[in-house]
Amino acid sequence: MRRVKRFAIVVLAATCLLSAGCYYDPVKLLGQDAEPPTDKAAAAAGSSTGSRRVVPPQPVATNAQAEAQTHRLLDEGFNQYESGRYDAAIQTCTELLALKPYSQWAYCLRGCAFHAKGDYAAAVRDQTAAIACKPDFAEAYCYRALAYVEAGQLAYAIADGTTAIALRSDFAEAYYYRGLAYFKRRDYTKSLRDLRTAADLGLAIDPDLLASARKLAEAQVAEDN
């Protein structure tokens, strides 16, 4: 599903690339379920309201026998997601949450499935719930940032990208998504900075997007001077 769209001209084509939602897949990450959140943590997490698919993290199995069903359902949901059966993945995660209401992984995976279906409001809602379960869940902030980019809520996208980077300074995807938000907000200097950082951290960035951001940033600096 990794598609690369070419630019016809610098400004128009670069904007079209972002409007089309050509995003790179985040890496698969590992983690464990968190304890139920406190009211304070849930409040701090906030609330909110085809792009390229988000690849959700896969959890690490624990030794507790009571977790066997949880991990079986998560594995099943992830496999459904990977095969493009997003509705089935959503249903599986919903079943899991009925058994374990504070599973940040179930919320995160279900949010990614909603995102793949183009339901960005639902994606934001589930990533927010994942953050409420685990307030330092950098991946959920990152994926919520992407959903905000898709929904055109650029200030929120930038804030979430910044939080994800604060939690993980080497989070290439967070720099990338924040760079897209800056680009769509026409802050090309900051966009170029973030896109270059993402590339330096090993993320493959469309060279046309980088070239467009660079030219637009140079033009913006020249105009300001």
3-state secondary structure of 182: helix
Flag whether pLDDT at 82 surpasses 90: yes
The per-residue pLDDT for range 201-213, each reduced to its tens digit, is 999 999 999 999 9
- Rounded distance between C-alpha atoms, residue 175 and residue 132, angstroms: 22
Q: Is residue 1 part of a domain?
A: no
Q: Is residue 4 part of a domain?
A: no
- Rounded distance between C-alpha atoms, residue 222 and residue 225, angstroms: 5
Q: How many CB atoms lie within 10 A of CB 71?
A: 18
Local confidence band at 221 (pLDDT 50, 70, 90 cut-offs)? confident
Q: Is residue 164 part of a domain?
A: yes
Its pTM stands at: 0.72
- Domain holding 86, by residue range, is 10-224
Count of domains for the chain: 1
Among the listed ranges 10-24, 56-70, 169-183, which one has the minimum average pLDDT value? 10-24
Residue 194 pLDDT: 97
- Rounded distance between C-alpha atoms, residue 21 and residue 94, angstroms: 27
Q: Please report, for the domain that includes residue 54, its CATH number.
A: 1.25.40.10
Label residue 5 exposed, middle or buried (CB < 10 Å: 0-12, 13-18, 19+): middle
Q: Is residue 139 part of a domain?
A: yes
Q: Is residue 75 part of a domain?
A: yes
φ, ψ of residue 28 in degrees (nearest 5) = -80, 130
Local confidence band at 55 (pLDDT 50, 70, 90 cut-offs)? low
Q: Is residue 5 part of a domain?
A: no
